[in-house]
Structure 1
Amino acid sequence: MSYLPGGQTDGRERYRASRSLCRQVAESVSRPDPTRRSVLAGIGAAGATVAAPTVNAAQTARRQIQQQVNPLADRDAFEAFLDGVMETHLESHDIAGATVAVVDGDDEFSKGYGYADISAETPVDADETLFRIGSVSKLFTWTAAMQAVERGDLAINEDVDATLEAVDLPETYDEPIRLDHLATHTPGFEERVRGTFVQNESELRPLAEMLRTEQPSRVRPPGEFAAYSNYGSALAGQLVAETAGSSFETIIEDGIFEPLSMERSTFAQPVPDDFMDDLSKGYGADGRTDGEFEYVGIPPAGAMSATATDMASFVRAFLQDGATDDGRLLEAESVAEMHRRRFGHDERLNGIAFGFYEMSRDGVRVVGHGGDTELFHSLLFLLPEHDVGVFVSYNSVGGLEARPEFVDAFFEQYVADAASESEMSEPNGPPERSDAITGTYRSNRIPYTTSEKFLGFPSTISVSVDDDGRLITQPLGGETTRWMEVEPLLFTEVDGTDRLAFREDDGEITHLFLDSTPVTAFERLSRRETPMVHLAALAISLFVFLATVVGWPLAAGWRRYRGQAGALEGTEPPLRYARWVAGATSGAFLVFAVAFAAILATDPTGLLLGDPLRFRLLLVVPLLGAIGTALTVGLAAHAWYERQWGLPARLHYTAVAIAGVAICWVLVYWNLLWYRM
Structure 2
Amino acid sequence: MDIQRARPTSASTPGPTADRARPPQPAGQQPSTRQPVSGPPLIGLLIIGLLNAFGPPSIAAADLADLPSPTHTIATDSIASDSQAPADANRPSPTARQPDLDALLAEIDALRRRHDIAATAVVLVDNERTLAVRTFGVRNRTERTPADPETRFKIGSISKAITGLALLRAEDLGLLGLDRPLTERLPDLDIPLFDNPWQAETPLTLAMLMEHTAGWHDMSRDEFDHPAKQPIPLTEALAVRPASRRSHWRPGVFSEYSNSGPGLAGFLLERAAGESFETFVERELFAPLGMTGSSFLPDPTTLENLAQGYDRDARSPIPYWHILYRPSGGLNVRPADMAPLLRLLLRRGELDGRRLFAPERIDRLETPSTTAAASAGTRIGYALGIQASQHRGHTLHSHGGDGDGYLARIAYSRTAGRGYFVVITAFDHRPLNAMRQRLSDWLIADLPPPPAPPEARLQPESLTRWTGTYQLASTRFPQPGWQDRRLTVSLRNGRLHTQPDGQTARPLIAIDPRRFRRPHETEASTTFSLLPDGSIALQGPLGNWLKPAPP
C-alpha distance in structure 2 between counterparts of 1:421 and 1:256, whole Å: 34
Identify which of 9, 21, 24 aligns with 2:63: 9
Instruction: Check the 8 A contact 1:2/1:96 in 2, yes or no.
Output: no
C-alpha distance in structure 1 between counterparts of 2:430 and 2:546, whole Å: 25
Q: What amino acid sits opposite 2:269 in the alignment?
A: V
Tell me the CA shift for residue 373 of structure 1.
3.6
2:25 equivalent in structure 1: none
Residue 76 (structure 2) pairs with residue 76 (structure 1) = no
C-alpha distance in structure 1 between counterparts of 2:349 and 2:442, whole Å: 28
1:513 equivalent in structure 2: 539
C-alpha distance in structure 1 between counterparts of 2:276 and 2:156, whole Å: 20
Deviations 1:246-296 (A, max 9, x none): 11121122222222222221111xx22222232111111111121111221
User: Percent sequence identity over matched residues?
Assistant: 22
Local SS of the residue matching 2:401: strand
Residue 530 (structure 2) pairs with residue 501 (structure 1) = no
TM-score (ref. length: structure 2): 0.70
Tell me the CA shift for residue 363 of structure 1.
5.2
Tell me the CA shift for residue 151 of structure 1.
0.9
C-alpha distance in structure 1 between counterparts of 2:134 and 2:499, whole Å: 38
Tell me the CA shift for residue 340 of structure 1.
3.9
Residue 384 (structure 2) pairs with residue 354 (structure 1) = yes
2:145 equivalent in structure 1: 122
C-alpha distance in structure 1 between counterparts of 2:232 and 2:345, whole Å: 32
Identify which of 322, 331, 340 aligns with 1:304: 331
Identify which of 263, 270, 278 aligns with 2:292: 263
* Between structures 1 and 2, the one with greater helix share: 1
Instruction: Check the 8 A contact 2:269/2:277 in 1, yes or no.
Output: yes
Matching of residues 294-443 of structure 1 within 5 Å: 294-325=321-352, 329-343=356-370, 345=373, 347=377, 350-362=380-392, 364-398=394-428, 400-415=429-444, 418-420=447-449, 442=472
1:248 equivalent in structure 2: 277
Residue 210 (structure 2) pairs with residue 183 (structure 1) = yes
Instruction: Check the 8 A contact 1:137/1:301 in 2, yes or no.
Output: yes
Deviations 1:184-208 (A, max 9, x none): 2212223332354234334854212
Local SS of the residue matching 1:359: strand
C-alpha distance in structure 1 between counterparts of 2:84 and 2:159, whole Å: 27
Identify which of 475, 479, 486 aligns with 1:454: 479
C-alpha distance in structure 2 between counterparts of 1:205 and 1:170, whole Å: 23
Instruction: Check the 8 A contact 2:59/2:110 in 1, yes or no.
Output: no
Q: What amino acid sits opposite 2:87 in the alignment?
A: L
Tell me the CA shift for residue 120 of structure 1.
2.0
C-alpha distance in structure 2 between counterparts of 1:113 and 1:204, whole Å: 29
* Alignment CA distance shift 1:460-1:78 (3 Å): farther
1:15 equivalent in structure 2: none
* Alignment CA distance shift 1:343-1:366 (3 Å): farther
* Alignment CA distance shift 1:83-1:306 (3 Å): same
Deviations 1:306-339 (A, max 9, x none): 1211111222222334343497643444334323
C-alpha distance in structure 1 between counterparts of 2:117 and 2:534, whole Å: 45
C-alpha distance in structure 1 between counterparts of 2:364 and 2:450, whole Å: 32
C-alpha distance in structure 1 between counterparts of 2:267 and 2:276, whole Å: 8
Instruction: Check the 8 A contact 2:109/2:136 in 1, yes or no.
Output: yes
1:36 equivalent in structure 2: 84
Matching of residues 169-248 of structure 1 within 5 Å: 169-173=194-198, 174=200, 175-202=202-229, 205-215=232-242, 216-248=245-277
Instruction: Check the 8 A contact 1:128/1:278 in 2, yes or no.
Output: yes
Instruction: Check the 8 A contact 1:8/1:83 in 2, yes or no.
Output: no
C-alpha distance in structure 2 between counterparts of 1:410 and 1:129, whole Å: 22
C-alpha distance in structure 1 between counterparts of 2:315 and 2:448, whole Å: 40
Deviations 1:82-118 (A, max 9, x none): 3214422552x45332211121122211112233212
Q: What amino acid sits opposite 1:501 in the alignment?
A: T
Identify which of 94, 104, 126 aligns with 1:104: 126
C-alpha distance in structure 2 between counterparts of 1:9 and 1:394, whole Å: 18
| Count of aligned residue pairs for this structure pair | 457
Tell me the CA shift for residue 242 of structure 1.
0.5
TM-score (ref. length: structure 1): 0.58
Instruction: Check the 8 A contact 2:535/2:548 in 1, yes or no.
Output: no
Deviations 1:342-373 (A, max 9, x none): 24526456133333221244454422222124
Instruction: Check the 8 A contact 2:296/2:332 in 1, yes or no.
Output: yes
C-alpha distance in structure 2 between counterparts of 1:311 and 1:328, whole Å: 18
Tell me the CA shift for residue 412 of structure 1.
3.1
* Alignment CA distance shift 1:250-1:4 (3 Å): farther
Bigger radius of gyration among the two: 1
Local SS of the residue matching 2:278: helix
Tell me the CA shift for residue 145 of structure 1.
1.0
Tell me the CA shift for residue 119 of structure 1.
2.1
Q: What amino acid sits opposite 2:182 in the alignment?
A: V
Q: Relative contact order, CA 8 A, sep 6+: which one is greater?
A: 2
Question: Which has the higher mean CA deviation after the structures are superposed, 349-358 or 238-247?
Answer: 349-358
Tell me the CA shift for residue 416 of structure 1.
5.9
Instruction: Check the 8 A contact 1:342/1:354 in 2, yes or no.
Output: no
Residue 188 (structure 2) pairs with residue 162 (structure 1) = no
Deviations 1:442-497 (A, max 9, x none): 472335xxxxx3388599686799x9999686799xxx777444338845267x99
* Alignment CA distance shift 1:155-1:504 (3 Å): closer
Give the unaligned 5+ runs of structure 2. 1-54, 66-79, 453-459
Instruction: Check the 8 A contact 2:451/2:522 in 1, yes or no.
Output: no
1:634 equivalent in structure 2: none
2:509 equivalent in structure 1: 486
* Alignment CA distance shift 1:474-1:159 (3 Å): closer
C-alpha distance in structure 1 between counterparts of 2:98 and 2:480, whole Å: 45
Residue 153 (structure 2) pairs with residue 136 (structure 1) = no
Q: What amino acid sits opposite 2:235 in the alignment?
A: A
Instruction: Check the 8 A contact 1:117/1:281 in 2, yes or no.
Output: yes
Aligned residues: CA RMSD:
4.3
Local SS of the residue matching 1:110: strand
Deviations 1:592-634 (A, max 9, x none): xxxxxxxxxxxxxxxxxxxxxxxxxxxxxxxxxxxxxxxxxxx
Give the unaligned 5+ runs of structure 1. 12-31, 45-65, 424-430, 448-452, 527-677
